Amino acid sequence: MLAKYNKYFSHQLIFILIASSFLVLGAINFFEDLNFQIYLVAISVILFGIPHGALDFELMSEQSLLKKYINNKVKFTFAYLSSSFLISLFWLNYPDISLSLFLLISVFHWGESDALPKKTDESNIIRYLCETTFYGSALLSLNTIFYSQDLVELYAYLSDSEFSQKIVAVSSLVVPITISAFTYLIFHYLKKGQKQKVLEISLIFITMICLKPLIAFLLYFCFFHSPKHLIDFFHYKKEKSDYLKKMLLASIISIGFLLTFNFFIDKDMIQYASSINLGLFRSVFICLAALTIPHVVLVVLWHRESRN
């Protein structure tokens, strides 16, 4: 257990450096252009986001429950991609429901995955609840403080304009809860003398408030959440080289899914904002949603088996 948290130490240092750099770049308006943000997010998701989910093909072999029904990787791959395809179709037909479910699942997944497991601090269940709350809600709630209109516009590209306003309004109501969780965690880790953890949490808090929505998402998803998942997996699986090859293959399959979807997606959305690559924007986030739901199911099952 201790070895894994030593590995988190290096991850924390890298994240602190990247987050600090993003704050400086944001201060000089480096991320001002929305099209640039979309391309940056798309490239980062392909390079850093998708690979962490590509290990799902290996996680399947660890799930005793799944192996009763899907006993080989060909069947699993077919079931995984089929479910992702059906989720994509569902989104195109019911965007409001799909966006709501995607956001709720993301909140649950980030909170459940990024918080330290309860057994690392059994005497403090409040710490665990505050971490799951903070990591799960920081991006969606804190970003509404300065960028509520930006969020309304981005959500409107994925759903309905009026519905997107409701999502932002609900997200803003969570801000006091997120701030309360953050405050508790700061005092908790200061008391324990874990200054690097305090700095990590503080930078997440500051960047989720100060950075534009897409850049805040990029920072959290690609440079905080995804590397943490990979650290967990490679700590659990001692042999890395074989899995890196399989991760590359699975990433290529996932990227192929993204590009195929981008080819067929409804390009008529461009008429609403001709200067913005909405086709790519919608493809990235709808495909992420399609891949996230089966990914979350696997990760939850894996955490239950590996952490117990």
Q: Closest Cα partner for 276 from 33, 99, 73?
A: 33
Tokens 């201060």 belong to residue: 27
Instruction: Supply the mean pLDDT for the chain.
Output: 81
Task: Give pLDDT, residue 247.
Answer: 63
Beta carbons of 84 and 291 less than 8 angstroms apart: yes
Residue that is written with structure tokens 């240092």 in the block: 13
Residue 261: exposure state from Cβ atoms within 10 A (0-12, 13-18, ≥19): buried
Give the number of other CB atoms < 10 A from CB of residue 289.
22
CB 243 within 8 A of CB 234: yes
pLDDT higher than threshold 50 for residue 272: no
Average pLDDT over residues 216-238: 81
* Cα–Cα distance measured from residue 307 to residue 236, given in angstroms and rounded to the nearest whole number: 10
Q: How far apart are CA 181 and CA 132, in angstroms?
A: 9
Looking at mean pLDDT, say which of 35-39, 65-69, 232-236 comes out highest: 35-39
Fill in the amino acid letter for 197: K
pLDDT tens, residue by residue, 6-18: 556 777 889 999 9
pTM exceeds 0.95, yes or no: no
Among the listed residues 103, 131, 104, the one whose alpha carbon sits nearest the alpha carbon of residue 8 = 131
Burial classification of residue 201, based on how many CB atoms lie within 10 Å of its CB (0-12 exposed, 13-18 middle, 19 or more buried): buried
Q: In the predicted model, what is the mean pLDDT of residues 156-160?
A: 88
pLDDT tens profile 88-125: 889 989 999 999 999 999 999 999 888 877 665 555 78
| Segment 180-209, tens digit of pLDDT | 999 999 999 999 999 889 999 999 999 999
Exposure string for 71-98, b = 16+ CB within 10 A, e = fewer: eeeeebbeebbeebeebbebbeeebbeb
* Alpha-carbon distances of 215 from 26, 38, 152, 187, 252, rounded to whole Å: 9, 9, 16, 28, 24
Closest CA to 281 of 301, 267, 260, 300: 267
pLDDT, average across residues 286-295: 84
Residue 139, both tokens: 């991006």
Q: Is the pLDDT of residue 241 over 70?
A: no
Q: Which residue has the higher pLDDT, 161 or 224?
A: 224
